[in-house]
Amino acid sequence: MSSSDALSNTLEKSTPSEDPIGTNIQTTQEAPQSQPQEPPTDTTTTNEGMTNSTSGVRKRKLTSEVWNHFKIVEIKEKLKAECNYCKAKLLGDPKQDTSHLRDHFKSCKLRTTRDIRQCMMKTTPTTSGKTVVVSAYTFDQENARKELSVMVCLHEYPLSFVDHIGFRRFCNALQPLFKVITRNTLKSDILKSTMMKRSKTMNVLERNKSQVAITTDM
């Protein structure tokens, strides 16, 4: 073997073997950042003509006028009616009767001082006609219906009188808060008033010790 061949063999043995770069390196991919999810919000009920439920129940329309003075809230998974004036919590299931809400509305002490939309000033002349007493006025739908039934009976108006467009426009111009009733409701109010007056008359006659003669001209 020549000296040149021996030198080349020595160089090949002394040269380190190449290590393939990247074979022992594990590439890791960053996991995609999860987008923050919005926390589930509980839907509360309102009194804007509809009620919403957290369980996705179909909306129910509030038709009674008393809901204009109450707001439906959900407390411990139960519907409550919150008074807009004194913040009292009453039974507020729209499927139930609203007579207890109407009674609370009439007896609420804070209503007369905070219900500015329905309060106006009225003047009451005294018997002398010189001095005038100024006091607060609050519109009462029930009293207006009572006076309407008295007017129809007093002047013998037909029950269809309340369906006339002219009368409805006049009521709206005179008192926009007054809700004109139908002829069937007017008939019911008249019969109810008649039965009350009949009961009072019978009580008076029972307490009377003398005889009474009644004559009518039909």
Assign 3-class secondary structure to 108-132.
CCCHHHHCHHHEEEEEEECCCCCCE
Closest CA to 119 of 167, 85, 81: 85
Query: For residues 44, 50, 53 and 57, what is the CA-based torsion angle, rounded to 10 degrees?
Result: -170
Whole-angstrom CA distances from 72 to 82, 92, 95, 138, 209 are 6, 6, 13, 24, 56
Model pLDDT, residue 155? 94
Query: For residues 188, 106, 83 and 54, what is the CA-based torsion angle, rounded to 10 degrees?
Result: -20
Model pLDDT, residue 3? 54
For residue 67, what are its two tokens?
Answer: 């809901």
Closest CA to 110 of 91, 135, 82: 82
Model pLDDT, residue 35? 54
Signed CA dihedral, 86, 89, 72, 43: sign only = positive
Query: CA–CA separation, 164 vs 148, rounded Å?
Result: 14
Model pLDDT, residue 60? 58
Model pLDDT, residue 181? 93
Query: For residues 174, 176, 178 and 183, what is the CA-based torsion angle, rounded to 10 degrees?
Result: 80
For residue 151, what are its two tokens?
Answer: 């007017």
Model pLDDT, residue 69? 87
Signed CA dihedral, 41, 42, 47, 49: sign only = positive
Average confidence (pLDDT) per 10 residues, the chain, 218 residues: 56 51 47 52 47 46 81 86 87 81 84 52 59 68 93 94 94 90 94 93 88 84
Q: Specify the 3-state DSSP secondary structure of 64.
A: coil
Report the Cα 153 to chain-centroid distance in Å.
35
Query: CA–CA separation, 55 vs 66, rounded Å?
Result: 25
Q: Where are the alpha helices (DSSP H) in the chain?
A: 3-14, 99-107, 111-114, 141-155, 165-174, 183-207
Model pLDDT, residue 89? 87
The size of the chain, in residues, is: 218
Instruction: Residue 154: count other Cβ atoms within 10 Å of its Cβ.
Output: 8
